[in-house]
Amino acid sequence: MLYLIEVILYTATMLLVYALFLRNKPVYQLSRYYMLACTVLPLMLPLLRLPSAAQERMQSITTFQFTLPEIIIGGDPVKYFGNHPTNLPLIFIPYLRYCLIAAIVLTFFLWKLIRIRQIIRKGKSEHVGSYVLIRDSGYGPGSFGKYILFPGREVNETILKHEQAHIQLHHTRDIIFLNLLQAILWPNLFLIWIKKEIKQVHEFQADAHVNANKQEYAQLILSSIFNTPCLPEMHSFIIHPIKRRIMMLQKNGKASPVKAVAQVAASLLLFFTVAAVIQSCEKKDATKGQSKYSVKPFSMQNSKMDRIDTEKSPDVYPQFLGGSDSMIAFISREMKYPEYARVHQIEGKVVVKFIVMNDGAVLPVTIAKSPDSSLSRAALDLIGKMPKWEPGRMKDGKKVNVVFYLPLVFKLQ
């Protein structure tokens, strides 16, 4: 759900750029490609991250003075669900609902295609070069794919050139692509507006390809408004709003795409940079839900922290009694995969910050990084169970407090 929300927000932001710099501008090819990009780029933007080196600088985490090796905490969802068979279907219910709605939207689109196909078969077809002319279809004038439909036997040459432009520019591919994407990403309601807008841009583009007197062409559009039945996915010669279409006729050939390209490129560069910076900062994954525990990860008050002097460069580092192998054995024995995280398939890295005191006691401080509060609590509980360490020392033998960071990777196997 969080991914879909991010996709919708990014789509809205890109459409804002379109409204500011491209809408009602006679740069039709750029507008067309940009509108298609508004459907594809938002799918990838949530995955955008800064390079690891830059990302580390962006983290709101204190620089790791002493970081222990990563330790993987594993779980076994197959075994777990075998013991709790009722939990597995509940997890997949939202996905099944999503797929059901997607199937309904896709079925509706396929029904419209079948309807167009039936109308094409009923009309009188005539193969002319790269297109097929359909007379007496009862619909149109309009086009779909390589077919150009006229409602009666009469064919207007100007309109025919307009519909030929649709075929040459492969406009139908855009409509099919948008309908398929709309079925998959049906929560993104902006796709409805994008499809409507791109069909309007198609008409502008086809109008620009017709070499006709602008005044006469505008009169032809106005004279063809009434009694013109059309189908939803067909490129109809008469598409509203008429005022906007006639206005764009007067703008044809009066603008250079250079300025529009520069404005859009600058806006998108700024947008992508901000998105990368925001997403590179670690945050709780809302798709994982809230933990059932009343979790307020333990964090010492700043005043208490200020009173604890820690040594950043001890001559002898603190050490878990028995060495790193003993520490790994302890963690493997004491750490249990949280039930809530296991049920909701939550994985990720938790970095817990703690202090090895000058008497060897281990004092948990806070969670520096975590994808979920249930994992945070499990990590803090683990640190709280740790036995005393061999404390850090200076050359003169003085024992000192030292800050450590322990990365724990929770991974379901």
Burial 57-91 (b: 16+ CB within 10 A, else e): ebeeeeeeeeebeebebebebeebbeeeeeeeeee
Distance between CA atoms of residues 255 and 25, nearest Å: 8
Q: Up-side HSE of residue 277: CA atoms within 13 Å toward CB? A: 8
Instruction: Look at residue 303 in the predicted model and tell me its pLDDT.
Output: 45
Which among 80, 262, 239, 91 has a CA at the least distance from the CA of 159?
239
Instruction: Look at residue 59 in the predicted model and tell me its pLDDT.
Output: 45
Amino acid at 125: S
> Phi, psi (5° rounding) for residue 404?
-130, 155
Instruction: Look at residue 243 in the predicted model and tell me its pLDDT.
Output: 58
Instruction: Look at residue 33 in the predicted model and tell me its pLDDT.
Output: 93
Cβ proximity of 160 and 196 under 8 Å: no
Q: What would the pLDDT profile of 240-269 be if each residue is shown by its tens digit?
A: 566 566 666 667 655 567 777 887 888 878
287-412: CATH architecture:
2-Layer Sandwich (3.30)
To the question of pTM greater than 0.85 for the whole model, the response is: no
Domain with CATH 3.30.1150 in the chain: 287-412
Instruction: Output 293-299 pairs: Cβ under 8 A, ≥24 positions apart.
Output: 293/340, 293/373, 293/374, 293/377, 295/373, 295/374, 295/376, 295/377, 297/366, 297/367, 297/370, 297/373, 297/376, 297/377, 297/380, 298/364, 298/365, 298/366, 298/380, 299/365, 299/366, 299/367
Name residues of the chain where pLDDT drops below 70: 49-67, 69, 74-92, 223-250, 252-256, 277, 279-307, 413
Kindly list the distances between the CA atom of residue 67 and the CA atoms of 207, 317, 378, 386, 408, in Å, as whole numbers in the listed order.
65, 12, 19, 17, 11
Q: What would the pLDDT profile of 102-160 be if each residue is shown by its tens digit?
A: 999 999 999 999 999 999 988 888 998 889 999 988 887 889 999 999 988 888 888 89
Would you say how long the chain is, in residues?
A: 413
Cβ proximity of 408 and 335 under 8 Å: yes
Distance between CA atoms of residues 32 and 60, nearest Å: 40
Q: Which two tokens stand for residue 184?
A: 């998959």
- CA 48, 52, 54, 56 dihedral sign is positive
Instruction: Output 179-185 pairs: Cβ under 8 A, ≥24 positions apart.
Output: 179/109, 179/233, 180/106, 180/109, 181/39, 182/105, 182/109, 183/102, 183/103, 183/105, 183/106, 183/109, 184/102, 185/4, 185/7, 185/43
- CA 105, 107, 113, 115 dihedral sign is negative
Other CB atoms within 10 A of residue 223 CB? 9
